[in-house]
Structure 1
């Protein structure tokens, strides 16, 4: 029997636990006068909180948890809620409910705890389809809080919504085993979709721990470690990373400037080549990020807002805080000014405001969505379709790193500054001061400028040597290469298919030009 109740304190509880361990005294119960029925059970090896009371003329003793993990305040609060649960006719609560109550107190909100969860009656759990929907809603809230990116959400949901995973949609998450997911992976491998199979493993190992988090395990029923043994299939030898030479980069630049591509796509590829920045950084560039460099006549600055390595967000006092500033040599800055003048004039002629995006897309991603910026994949596909060029946008960064160090005498730390990397872009790029570059708020434009100017001059010298066919011939070559990569062998059949699809879209009023017409306007006869 517990001795006479005394109001315990946090320090007193710690003292009692220590004394029981050191004296090796016999087990005893100590009642807490601060909460009716709350009892501390002490033994030389354990200390446990429990609550004792009578209900329906029956004595009950319900364990709460280890007193070395629970605070006194948590034990008192959960004990009161537990007694209310029983006296309301909901029965003795499940251990998961008790754990959730404590987690909610420790997290100070944000944890969903059901009003009742009787012991012996498991909670209703999500199906995989319901879990995926809940995950998507949670990730979108994280995007609004700037903790995740839209691209990440699309990737995760796209992988978990694939046809192979949808075969498990009706299954309760609590009953899906590692063998079930492994069977999905094996099916994808048999279909030759080895990369997709690896994606399923990668995303599933993020999805299950999210479902099994203490705040939602009672809803999902998922074991966070259920897929611990799941392994991704091998992909064989990785392709050798290309580091194209300057002539190849110059040919890419020549095609971008020739007029066979749209002005927006060509301008984006040109900026990517001259600055060696990431695709996403280029396509998400805004008009407001470009301005003249007051300290150097004829130069400009690109205050790049998007960064893979975050360094804070803009503030009222410092609207450029967190940006990655790049000096633009006179040749590059003239090209930027020409492009800005062209896009501004085009918007005036159409009678619409100039897009805030430097390189706006031609149409929205989906009908009804706003028109934003180019997709990073647009640049990849455009470069891949350039005849005779075996390189990608990422290869430009490798070429910049290699050429600047090997041929132009640019120091490795400066290469890292321009690339905005914590480490170099190639294995041979060793940067001895990544911590300094990550900690300083100075943009070090004077160090970056010579590197970018030397790179621009090297590329432009080779660009002058490139000879291309006329615009229409080059455009036809790009289209043919694009079709070849897509596996189209019968050009006439493909042309007929496109004509029929275009005619159907026009008849249904779904073309982009029709959607841009003012409300009430009719199609021409």
Structure 2
């Protein structure tokens, strides 16, 4: 039978001594008035698939009969919706919705202070950018050339990356690094921005290796799409044919370089390196990374054995052979001068000071050769232009074939990279054929050096000293006239 106000009035009175607790059911609504020694409460009960659902609605002082009956009816409607659930959280929402209770106050979100955030980050034991950089550079030093290690270290310590020193690498995403690269690009250092992106990508690949992920928390592929904006379009209506990558210095200019290198103005180490570069046309990194032990006398001939680790083409195709060059004349004399100056360094052209405080003194940096040519009055050629000179003038003036020039330039020792017989079986050094190229080229350049007209030593020294000053460039008209 339905619950009445009379039932409610009786339930408010304490149970007589010895009386038992009892329930009064309201019928189909599931409302129950439960009366016990501690007082009476409204409850709701129903059966769903043989499962009993119970819910306490509140005391008689909190809910009237009408209010309790409405809540019970709403609960029954809720049960009919199989996707809904009747529990204490539903009851709280229903009481708020019907205005029977005030909504709970909003929970204020606690915001971390800068100090708290810094402390939390510091407590994270995973690598910061500074720690990750050192681990990566250690790996580069172990597996790559020293010049690569120096280059990578320089790029990863640029000012644009300094704000991230203490940040965890897992928190540095693609967007963050892309903005750094783009900001550098906007300053006009477009090539520098490209280089920075090319160093960050392998660093993140290293951090994502399985053996490093527990310390870096970097996921694979995070920086794989990192690249700088496209280079700015440049228009030079008056540009001549001797732009970057196309200039072939005349033999007179090559001779002038040799003559200035032998004039006693440059530091002896730099001068000898320039001479060897001019007379052998080897890459600048090959020159500066020459070791004392790489030179030996064989049957009266000095032979320079360039190891595969310092050969660009050998590294690319996995060739483990050395590139051997016979040296004579001024080229041999330059090497012998360096070999005679003590043996404290393993390098033929040792540096004058460490690249960075605390480092060991290595070989001279390859950029020294660019700088040496840049300050020479009447010279516009770069180190790589000298390779273009021997290739062009060697064929036109001295009758070399292109294959003969390639023997000296270390372009796969003059053979196609897909020559299986050559790569798998041949260990021929071809010293005689290389001498047939290097000796005429040396004589050709030495003749041009002897014919070069240089100012007196003091004037030449003053001109080169002036050219060393920052942002001082040689006027094009003066260069061409020379």
What TM-score range do you get, normalising by the shorter chain? 0.5 to 0.7
Supply the distance in 2 between the matched residues of 1:484 and 1:128 (Cα, whole angstroms): 33
Residue 281 of structure 1 is matched in structure 2 by: 286
Any idea what SS the aligned residue of 1:167 has? helix
2:427 maps to 1:441:
yes
Q: Deviations over 1:30-71 (max 9, x none)?
A: xxxxxxxxxxxxxxxxxxxxxxxxxxxxxxxxxxxxxxxxxx
Given the superposition, is the C-alpha separation of residues 415 and 157 from structure 1 closer, same or farther in structure 2, using an over 3 Å criterion? same
- TM-score normalised by length of structure 2: 0.62
Residue 152 of structure 1 is matched in structure 2 by: 148
Residue 478 of structure 1 is matched in structure 2 by: 464
2:248 maps to 1:243:
yes
Supply the distance in 1 between the matched residues of 2:155 and 2:391 (Cα, whole angstroms): 33
Residue 302 of structure 1 is matched in structure 2 by: 304
Supply the distance in 2 between the matched residues of 1:168 and 1:285 (Cα, whole angstroms): 37
Which of 247, 259, 264 aligns to 1:254? It is: 259
1:268–1:359 contact (8 Å) kept in structure 2: yes
* Higher RCO (CA < 8 A, seq sep 6+): 2
Residue 31 of structure 2 is matched in structure 1 by: none
Any idea what SS the aligned residue of 1:258 has? coil
Supply the distance in 1 between the matched residues of 2:356 and 2:206 (Cα, whole angstroms): 29
Matches within 5 A, 1:32-181: 125-140=126-141, 143=142, 147-181=143-177
Any idea what SS the aligned residue of 2:209 has? coil
2:222 maps to 1:226:
yes
Supply the distance in 1 between the matched residues of 2:185 and 2:433 (Cα, whole angstroms): 49
Q: Find the structure with the greater CA-based Rg.
A: 2
Residue 205 of structure 1 is matched in structure 2 by: 201
Given the superposition, is the C-alpha separation of residues 207 and 417 from structure 1 closer, same or farther in structure 2, using an over 3 Å criterion? same
2:328 maps to 1:329:
yes
Q: Deviations over 1:214-240 (max 9, x none)?
A: 222232121222223332222346953
Offset, 1:468: 0.7
Name structure 2 gaps, 5 residues minimum. Answer: 1-123, 235-242, 474-482
2:396 maps to 1:410:
no
Offset, 1:366: 4.7
2:275–2:330 contact (8 Å) kept in structure 1: no
Matches within 5 A, 1:355-374: 355-366=345-356, 369-374=359-364
Given the superposition, is the C-alpha separation of residues 215 and 380 from structure 1 closer, same or farther in structure 2, using an over 3 Å criterion? same
Given the superposition, is the C-alpha separation of residues 262 and 138 from structure 1 closer, same or farther in structure 2, using an over 3 Å criterion? closer
Any idea what SS the aligned residue of 1:300 has? strand
Tell me the C-alpha RMSD between the 2 structures. Answer: 2.9
Given the superposition, is the C-alpha separation of residues 355 and 197 from structure 1 closer, same or farther in structure 2, using an over 3 Å criterion? closer
Supply the distance in 2 between the matched residues of 1:204 and 1:390 (Cα, whole angstroms): 34
Supply the distance in 1 between the matched residues of 2:201 and 2:388 (Cα, whole angstroms): 31
Q: Deviations over 1:416-450 (max 9, x none)?
A: 221112398xxxxxx64663554422111121111
2:280–2:331 contact (8 Å) kept in structure 1: no
- TM-score normalised by length of structure 1: 0.58
> Number of residues paired by the alignment?
334
1:422–1:434 contact (8 Å) kept in structure 2: no
2:394 maps to 1:393:
no
Name structure 1 gaps, 5 residues minimum. Answer: 1-122, 313-320, 348-352, 425-430, 488-525
Supply the distance in 2 between the matched residues of 1:255 and 1:441 (Cα, whole angstroms): 38
Matches within 5 A, 1:497-516: none
1:361–1:371 contact (8 Å) kept in structure 2: yes
Given the superposition, is the C-alpha separation of residues 205 and 469 from structure 1 closer, same or farther in structure 2, using an over 3 Å criterion? same
Supply the distance in 2 between the matched residues of 1:138 and 1:311 (Cα, whole angstroms): 18
Given the superposition, is the C-alpha separation of residues 484 and 206 from structure 1 closer, same or farther in structure 2, using an over 3 Å criterion? closer
Q: Deviations over 1:170-227 (max 9, x none)?
A: 4333332221111112221222222222122111211222211222223212122222
Given the superposition, is the C-alpha separation of residues 382 and 311 from structure 1 closer, same or farther in structure 2, using an over 3 Å criterion? closer
Supply the distance in 1 between the matched residues of 2:346 and 2:204 (Cα, whole angstroms): 39
Given the superposition, is the C-alpha separation of residues 212 and 486 from structure 1 closer, same or farther in structure 2, using an over 3 Å criterion? farther
Supply the distance in 1 between the matched residues of 2:329 and 2:408 (Cα, whole angstroms): 17
Any idea what SS the aligned residue of 1:483 has? coil
Supply the distance in 2 between the matched residues of 1:464 and 1:180 (Cα, whole angstroms): 57
1:417–1:437 contact (8 Å) kept in structure 2: no
